[in-house]
Structure 1
C-alpha cells in the first residue's frame, strides 16, 4: 500500500468510526440500545481498519522509507485521535442512557 492510499484509508475508516459512534449516542438517546451497541461495535471494527492503515505507515518509516509529515498526514492522525475519543465517549453515553432509561434497557 503506498503512503497516500494508507493516509486516505486512515481518514476514511476514522471518519466512519466517528460517525458510527455519534449514531450510537442518538440511538441510546431514543432508548434503542440494541442499535446503539451495534453502532459501537461497528465503530470498533472501523478503528481496527484505521489502526491497520496507521501501522502500514509506521512500518514504512521503520523500514527506512521516510514518511513525509504533510498537512494530509496530520489531518489523518487528527481524524484517528478524534474517532478514538468519540468512541470512548459514546460508550460512556450509552451506559449513562441505560441508567437514565432503565425501562428501555433489556440486559
Structure 2
C-alpha cells in the first residue's frame, strides 16, 4: 500500500476512533449530570467526524475524476470505523437527550 492510501485509511480510522471516543465521553459526562461537558464532547465528536468526512470526500472526489481507489481490507476497515463512529455519535445524542429529560422530570 502506498503512503497516500495509507494516509487515507489512517485518517478514517484515527478520526473515526476519536469521534467515537468523544461520543462515549459525552455519555459518561451526561451520566454524571455534567451536561455542559457532554455537549462539549459532542462538539468535539462532530469535529472529528468532519475531519474523517473530509478525508472520505477527497477520496470520493478523486474517484469521480477517474482516479480509482482500490478497495481492500484496510479501506473497508477504515470505512467501518467511520460508520460505527457516526452511529455511536447519533446514539449518544439520543441518550443524552433522554438523560436531560429524565433529570428535568426528577427536578419537578
TM-score by length of structure 2 reads 0.90
* Structure 2 unaligned blocks of 5 or more: none
Moved over 3 A (4+): none
1:58 matched to 2:60: yes
Deviation of 1:91 after TM superposition, in Å, equals: 0.5
Aligned partner of 1:37 in structure 2 is: 39
Aligned partner of 1:25 in structure 2 is: 27
Deviation of 1:57 after TM superposition, in Å, equals: 1.1
* Structure 1 unaligned blocks of 5 or more: none
User: How has the CA–CA distance of structure 1 residues 98 and 61 changed in structure 2, closer, same or farther, with 3 Å as cutoff?
Assistant: same
3-state DSSP of counterpart to 2:101:
helix
- Root-mean-square deviation over aligned CA pairs: 1.9
Q: Distance in 2 between matches of 1:104 and 1:32?
A: 15
TM-score by length of structure 1 reads 0.91
